[in-house]
Amino acid sequence: MPTKPKPTLRAQWLGQSLRELRESNGMTLQRAGEFLQRNASTVSRFESGEYPIRRPDLMALLDLYGVAERPKRDGLLRLSEDVWQKGWWDGHEDFEQPFVDFVWLESRATTIRVFDTNLVPGLLQTREYAEAVITAADWDAGPEHIDRWVQVRLDRQAVLRREAPPRFTVIIDEFVLRREVGGPDVLADQLAHLLTCMELPQLDLRVLPSSVGAHASPSGGFRVFTIAEPDMDVGYAETVGGAVYVEPPDSERFVRVYARLLHSALEPAESVELIRAIREDSDDPPGPGPRPGRTGPGLLADQ
């Protein structure tokens, strides 16, 4: 029998907020159900995210729980709308639930902090670079599949061009800038694209130079999404076994580690100089034989 789909991250967070409000008011599921003229099991499914709550029921519960502050109330109502409304990423046959949650977080974040040790982040990739990354990771996929995922990655980049884009802070390991993903020409174009992106007012891109040596995140890259409702920092990391989302208070560790990495990274102007120097080096014709230190395409597809 088909497995029951897991509630989306947004449905779980809305339900968690409702449960915390109910418990802080000392109310039982039975009491909340009686107020809504529903049974306690229905309220329990609201709180688990298994069954999305309708706006009239949500407004009634917010009244019952005494939520009168406009920012808090509006935030929960908006989160409820997100549960019911579908973005372009919802329902896509190729998307598994963790990726749907990732793109939703990306679309809702007010601040996105990225540290990457393997690849240029997906929101800053060129088409050719993205194609090389996805092809390397999905080596047994056909051309149509690759093309679809490349287009998805490019579609996600619209978040940086919207009217109120998130604050986007990126720290890239210097080795990322030297890894010839797609070959030297693709890398050179990608570096030029990074320099262009650095002109965006909402983007703060720093390079972590190789001279730093050991740093605060030896386990690799990660992300921190700051969202307004529920007000929290959400840590995100990829593993071979799947994605990991970390909520407060554990996500505070992600924030602290990122701050230390930012302290070790070059300033924006210095980062520009280094990227330009690496790009100029990549334009130099290679000598005979294999180039020392050359690496192939990255093995993991950046989300």
CATH number at residue 158: 3.30.870
Q: Decide if pLDDT at 111 tops 90.
A: yes
DSSP string, 68-120: --HHHHHHHHHHHHHHHS--TTTT-TT--HHHHHHHHHHHH-SEEEEEESSS-
Q: Kindly state whether residues 252 and 138 are assigned to the same domain.
A: yes
In a domain, 302, yes or no: no
Q: In angstroms, rounded to a whole number, what is the distance separating the alpha carbons of residues 65 and 48? A: 18
List, for residues 174-189, the tens digit of each pLDDT value. 999 999 999 999 999 9
- Domain end, chosen from 62, 84, 106, is at 84
Q: What is the mean pLDDT of residues 186-199?
A: 96
In a domain, 118, yes or no: yes
Q: Kindly state whether residues 219 and 261 are assigned to the same domain.
A: yes
Q: In angstroms, rounded to a whole number, what is the distance separating the alpha carbons of residues 301 and 303? A: 6
In a domain, 113, yes or no: yes
CATH for 13: 1.10.260.40
Q: What is the mean pLDDT of residues 224-252?
A: 87
The single residue listed with the structure tokens 């989160």 is: 79
Which carries the bigger pLDDT value, residue 5 or residue 48? 48
List, for residues 139-171, the tens digit of each pLDDT value. 888 888 899 899 999 999 999 999 999 999 999
Tokens in use for 111? 């601040």
The half-sphere exposure of 169 on its side-chain side, counting CA atoms within 13 A, is: 18
User: Which structural domain range is residue 257 located in?
Assistant: 97-283
Q: Which DSSP helix (H) or strand (E) runs through 30?
A: helix 29-36
Average pLDDT in the chain: 86
Q: Kindly state whether residues 123 and 252 are assigned to the same domain.
A: yes
Q: Kindly state whether residues 147 and 266 are assigned to the same domain.
A: yes
In a domain, 297, yes or no: no
Q: In angstroms, rounded to a whole number, what is the distance separating the alpha carbons of residues 195 and 154? A: 18
How distant is the alpha carbon of residue 27 from its chain centre?
35
Q: Kindly state whether residues 51 and 151 are assigned to the same domain.
A: no
In a domain, 276, yes or no: yes
Q: Kindly state whether residues 275 and 143 are assigned to the same domain.
A: yes
In a domain, 288, yes or no: no
Q: In angstroms, rounded to a whole number, what is the distance separating the alpha carbons of residues 110 and 233? A: 10
Count of structural domains, the chain: 2
Q: Kindly state whether residues 71 and 174 are assigned to the same domain.
A: no
Q: Decide if pLDDT at 292 tops 50.
A: no
DSSP annotation of 301 reads: -
Output the CA torsion 21→26→32→35 (10° steps).
-110
Tokens in use for 63? 């009244």
Q: Kindly state whether residues 133 and 55 are assigned to the same domain.
A: no
Q: Kindly state whether residues 166 and 244 are assigned to the same domain.
A: yes
Confidence of residue 119 (pLDDT cuts 50, 70, 90): very high
Q: What pTM value is reported for the model?
A: 0.76
Q: Kindly state whether residues 101 and 64 are assigned to the same domain.
A: no
How distant is the alpha carbon of residue 155 from its chain centre?
14
Q: Say if CB 251 and CB 296 are below 8 A apart.
A: no
Q: Please report the sign of the dihedral spanned by the C-alpha atoms of residue 181, residue 237, residue 167, residue 217.
A: negative
Q: Say if CB 272 and CB 90 are below 8 A apart.
A: no
Nearest to 229, CA basis, from 5, 22, 50, 13: 13
Q: Kindly state whether residues 135 and 275 are assigned to the same domain.
A: yes
Which carries the bigger pLDDT value, residue 229 or residue 201? 201
Q: Please report the sign of the dihedral spanned by the C-alpha atoms of residue 145, residue 147, residue 151, residue 154.
A: positive
Q: Kindly state whether residues 136 and 72 are assigned to the same domain.
A: no
